[in-house]
Structure 1
Amino acid sequence: MATRVAELEAGTFEGEAARNFEIVSESGFRATFNAVGARLMALHYPDGFDIVAGPERIEDMLESDIYAGAICGRFANRIGNGRFMLNDKERQLTQNLPPHHLHGGVNGFHRKNWVSEIEDDALVFSLVSKSQEEGYPGRFRARAVYRFDDDILSLDIEARTRRPTIVNLTNHAYWNLSGAKTITNHVLQISAQAYTPTDQTLIPTGAVSFVSGTNYDFREPTLLEEAFGDDQGFDTNFCLEGPRYELHHAATLMAQGREFDLFTTEPGLQLYTAGHHGPELKGKNGQPLRRFGSIALEPQNWPDAPNHPNFPSAVLKQGEVYHHRMEWRFRQV
């Protein structure tokens, strides 16, 4: 069968329609989306098993504010003290994780009701962010295109700006491939020889350290139960080996016969093992979200990049086009 893209019954968001969609691939994978956050809500294997963790309804998504499945921006991840220099001028962003800035601010892209359309076999979301929204300079336009080609889900994000700004856009899906209470039974491999150490508030120190000899070494497939060590889990940026702007392997995740490879055109991968989730957060089927109950693999630029000249640049100038492509290549063995 051919790929099918369809609109489902809409939900509501602040009195407006929050449109729902689904894409069913030729091989029977089914992904569902919501326009608020251009958000991946579920992904079912052909056998019907849903590997996306998180709240079930858009209302619960926004109440929990864990960014589940959403596109985060204008700058995903953290910016120390919410400040950075651009063109010799200090810029102050909202400090929604005091004193820092996280995932675009209080009303970042994850809380925006994106304009949504079906274009042939693709689902297209678009958004305009005004200059000085959350403190970011420049009027900013983003476009996100989801496609399902056989067993490959792709996401292409493009952005343009009226004047220089910073950008870092990713998808923040949480995964659980087995249905177990925690993801410690998952095997993870990351194509990275280095990571960026942080201070106690998870702001990078500016150093780049080798993973060899640490529990950050996922160069070979590693059982997460063995990697956790101090029971703190991970919230860590890995420096990927592949060249920026070219599609390269970031990670492979495996559990209970289900697997996917994650590819990206960006230089980093944030590994987060949901250490701050707990029973107060609503999950699917009436079940609470559990600590370490899912894993986020967020391909992106390195956190706090605007404040570290040795990190990959996050600056987007007028006339330039930001483009980030992600691919999730699923299989069942």
Structure 2
Amino acid sequence: MEGQGAGVVVLMSASTALACGAPIYGIIGMSATATDKLGRSVPAPGKGVLGSAREVSSPAAHRKLCIKRRRGLMDEELEMFKQSKRRKLKHLGQAAKTAAISANEATVRKAEIEEQYAGQLGGMRDRLGNEFWKQNPAISPLRGSLAVWGLDADDIGLASFHGTSTKANDRNESEVLDAQMMQLGRTPGHVVPAVCQKWLTGHPKGPAAAWMLNGALQSLRTGIVPGNRNADNIGAELRECDYSVYLSKTIQTAGIKAALLKSFGFGQVGGELLVVHPDYLLATLGRAQLEEYNAKLERRDAVALRYWQDVLVGNHPFVQIKSSPPFTPEQEQRVYLDPSARTHCDPTTNEFKF
């Protein structure tokens, strides 16, 4: 049945979230869209999102999937680049001391050496950094995005399905996931629980994927795979798929490392997201950086709690609608014409002003 409402997710870079102490519920490991087949408003799902698993076989390329191996290769190349830079700077210094070159020429050459070193570092990051898999036909976007965090297909612990409970969509979704997992080499028999939350929320017109993402983030946080309470008679064509299982009861897992969600629309378009548990980001931080982030997060939680309390006791409404701009009529023209104009918060009125 039809669902009503909206879905909101705040997306920001990891560095921004850490700097401002924002709660991190998940990592968007990969996003993909597909506009396959007809392109007109045909209410039948396509298989275009299979493209996230596209790749040609290459054992040599797959060796790069090991995060420790990439780290080792980066360390070796970095040391090689540093040694080359030191040798060049040493020779340049000797030439300058013997007056073989002028001071101006030495400055120019030093800048060229630094630029070359920066270019080498950039090239190394392209080949071995977080985007090592891009433009490599031997490593699919889905496989590469998992490998960035040291994961593989076996670590996908939940699949959030568009789940319209229609014959065309349900079969298509199961077959797409099945083909992807087979292509990525997921262990046979290691099934992925499929969550189809429209049995509870209904089918919203616009925010279906936002609701699915919020549900997947809750599962990452709790380790709970919610059951599909209406799934008491799974069709034979769905049971033929080896990698998807439709649970009718909720289960508590030991933890979900990654979730994969798909959303399909009219015109045979599709969208796909890989969401990774936030602990994989936090694990990259040093102790001091992690403690600093946790302190900011606690302060933000305290402010949010106080705001909620003020709303509940009637000190102010939940949504505070501004009734005027932050500038006076006399200031308006100057503010528009001044690129350096900035507001400040007046602590007595809690309003922004120029």
Please give the range of the TM-score, normalised by the shorter of the 2 chains. under 0.3
Larger radius of gyration: 2
User: TM-score if structure 1 supplies the norm length?
Assistant: 0.26
RCO higher in 1 or 2 (8 Å CA, sep ≥ 6)? 2
When the two structures are superposed, what TM-score results if normalisation uses the length of structure 2? Answer: 0.25
